[in-house]
A and B are shown apart, each in its own frame.
Chain A
């Protein structure tokens, strides 16, 4: 008898049983509850229900008592686990070297165990501190958290080395930032306010300026026209632009910038009197080549990228957060934020570091 014939006969037999509808035959096919040689629907249903109940029970227990992945083996990179939180070996080594002031290899076992115990103690207190929400209230912890999140946000930037083309592009876009520092050496003479109030004061300073243009010695001009030379404390002749700006003040500095070597300015009225400036030598800022400022471009590029990423992250956090401002500040704060956003999206600002 081949397989097909066997299947055909069995099917025919089952059809016949169904057709006869005889309770005795059915009983012989299904069998009793404890007759495991035959199928019993009741037993099947009870078994299914029991299995489902046990499965749900295990799942529920796991769900409501879950502690994450628990391990009882300390991974090799850690020196200990405290409530499953690792203490890194590298931190352990660094702590030993810092505390003992000698290489790890020279620390005795007793010293190592002492440091390990201290680190365990610290970890326990840190975990307790987290439970008590100290990070939310302690200023130092909050500052450290902010720094840590900022670092995490910009981690991709610091670990990504920009291509030369990117740096070159950034350099071209911010060329003005990459130049030598301008310097000025000048004489700043003033007719003091006490003498500058008379009607002839302006004419006197004009005459002094003419004398300087005629190459009259400075000392002689000072003496003849009653002027004083303003010399900043500790300042020598040549100063960087920023230093001259501090010494001269905004108005005089702007006028000085327009003077070439040997030029003498027209009289300039200021709060402390009437000034005249003689430019001895001005070295204007010269653009630097990319190669010379390459490292600075790299730093600026990374700083700018970090800033953009931090801003984007902050925007995301703001959008996600539910921030409510008190009524007395709400309107002003909204305006302030709108101004800040408009300022930040200005095209000229976008590329600045």
Chain B
């Protein structure tokens, strides 16, 4: 065995064989093209993902009420929220946010709000913490008592109403809302509204409700349950109401919730917000 061979010929030299070199020469342009394409795809994907991440960050850092003033953020938020809405919200609120008055689910396409004035920040708070969902930060200040039960209200003592008194209150609501009704009964109902029933306490003395606790306006002819018929109103007064909106803070990401709030806002407002948002807020809205 010639020692000269040691170190000069080894298995590592195999790729340099003419067969392999020919193969590599033949595939060379294809390999380089594939590599180039892969780099392009990765660069494009990374750039897209970075852009999306940037938009998500801008959406979160913006003043929520000013987001809708930035067309770019508004478009992004609506597109981002739509799949989450379809998956988590549409089963109750409907495919087109139209609600369901059979279950007391509000129509989100109308600018009528039980809680707050419908600003994005307020909508976001409701989505995050829910209504009567057990979240300490959620809306959970009042229920509609069931006045035809021995203990109408669980939170504190309220006297039950007699059948005639409930009918009188119903007449009061019909007449006050501009519908046909028994005026004598409505007069009696007004007294019950203002005294024994303690209705004024939540719905306010003029029956226009209180958005701070989610007590609805009773005279605007917008109904959460039913259509405002005598029977529907009777059922609400006699049997009570306490609808629930889940607290989504555990289920959805903050950016999804912000985007959903923007989506709901956009659906219910045809015009941009007319709030007194200063230059600082506007700057924040565009990502500042």
Residues of A within 8 A of B102 (CB): 291, 294-295
| Complex partner residue of B241 from A1, A150, A295, CB under 8 angstroms | A295
Shortest Cβ distance from residue A43 to the other chain B in the assembled complex, whole angstroms: 19
A298 to chain B: closest residue by CB? B103
Number of A-B pairs, beta carbon distance below 8 Å: 149
Evaluate contact between B244 and A9: CB separation under 8 angstroms. Answer: no
Interface membership of B65, Cβ < 8 A: yes
Q: Which residues of A contact B14 (CB under 8 A)?
A: 3
Instruction: Tell me, in angstroms, the Cα distance from A94 to B162 when the chains sit together.
Output: 42
Contact A246 B254 (CB under 8 A): no
Assess whether B5 is in contact with A13, with CB atoms less than 8 Å apart.
yes
Q: Which residues on A sit within 8 Å (CB–CB) of B66? A: 105
Task: List B contacts of A93 (CB < 8 A).
Answer: 64, 121
Interface of A is mostly: helix
- The size class of the interface chain B forms with chain A is 35 or more
Residues of A within 8 A of B92 (CB): 161
**A240, A242, A295, most chain B CB atoms within 10 A:** A295
Pick from A89, A150, A239 the residue with the most CB of B within 10 Å: A89
Q: How far is the CB of A89 from chain B (nearest CB, A)?
A: 6
Within the complex, which residue of B6, B135, B281 is in contact with A105, where a contact is CB–CB below 8 Å? B281
Whole-angstrom distance from the CB of B86 to the nearest CB of chain A?
13
How does the 8 Å CB contact mask read for A235-272 relative to B, with 1 for contact and 0 for none? 11011101100100000000000000000000000000
In the complex, A211 Cα to B62 Cα: how many Å? 82
Considering the chains assembled together, what is the distance between the CA atoms of A9 and B66 in angstroms? 80
B136 touches A106 (CB 8 A): no
- List of B residues within 8 angstroms of A1 by Cβ: 9
Distance of A29 Cα from B104 Cα, bound (Å)? 88
Digit string of A1-28 for contact with B (CB within 8 Å is 1, else 0)? 1110011011011001000000000000
Q: Min CB distance, A353 to chain B, in Å?
A: 13
Check A6–B13 contact: CB distance below 8 A: yes
Q: Is the CB of B57 within 8 A of A76?
A: yes
| CB-based contact B275/A240 at 8 Å | no
Inter-subunit contact A236/B134 (CB<8 Å): no
Contacts A6-B13, A181-B148, A299-B242 given; does A76 touch B65 at CB 8 Å: no
Contact A148 B247 (CB under 8 A): no
17 CB contacts below 8 A, A to B, read A6-B9, A9-B1, A13-B6, A76-B255, A105-B276, A147-B136, A150-B134, A158-B130, A181-B148, A181-B238, A238-B162, A238-B164, A240-B163, A292-B235, A294-B102, A295-B103, A302-B244
Assuming A2-B17, A10-B10, A243-B162, what are 9 further A-B pairs, CB within 8 angstroms?
Answer: A6-B5, A76-B57, A88-B254, A147-B136, A152-B250, A154-B134, A181-B149, A243-B160, A298-B103
Which residues from chain B sit less than 8 Å from chain A, CB to CB? 1, 3, 5-6, 9-11, 13-14, 17, 56-61, 63-66, 88, 91-92, 102-104, 119, 121, 124-125, 128, 130, 133-137, 148-150, 160, 162-164, 225, 231, 235, 238-239, 241-244, 246-248, 250-251, 253-255, 257-258, 275-278, 280-281, 284
